[in-house]
Amino acid sequence: MTTDKRQSEIASEFSLLEGDLEMSVLYLMELGQKLPPMPEEDKVEANSVKGCQSKVWLTAELKHERLFFTADSNTAITKGLVSLLIRVFNGHLPEEILTSELYFMQKIGMDRFIGTQRSNGFAAMIKQMKIYALAFKTKSKIQA
């Protein structure tokens, strides 16, 4: 499934909440709870996302030329945010991740329920995921 298709699904799910701010935040936190657990040994400084007010840990693994992310956070809303990014990017080629334009945030009106600090942290998460994609893309070209 393409990143655009996944973003459309996310937008569709949030549209069912009809812009209800409280329900949107609760749904976001619920999505975070469904995130597979991250091994405790991965929750180290080297895996923390810089620029997030909350603690966010993010790792990436290449399997069959596709990238898979694992993440966790110490806050429910931030964990929900990173779960959305994982949903969009997981299982894609590094090149697809690098060239994907993210638009679901505008479609779901995310700016209404996250403040400036979380917006900065969200941008840092996107940046870190794209850095992983670039690193794996570069590594595979070197090995080829």
Tell me which residue of 88, 87, 76, 86 sits closest to 113, measured CA to CA.
76
Q: Is 104 a catalytic residue?
A: no
Tell me which residue of 21, 31, 28 sits closest to 112, measured CA to CA.
21
Q: Which of 28, 35, 38, 52 is catalytic?
A: 52
**Which regions of the chain does DSSP assign to beta strands (E)?**
56-63, 66-73
> Using CA atoms, how far apart are residues 13 and 20, in angstroms rounded to an integer?
12
- For 29, counting Cβ atoms within 10 Å of its Cβ (0-12 exposed, 13-18 middle, 19+ buried), the class is middle
> Using CA atoms, how far apart are residues 69 and 52, in angstroms rounded to an integer?
17
Percent helix / strand / coil, the chain, rounded to 5: 60, 10, 25
Residues with active-site annotation:
52
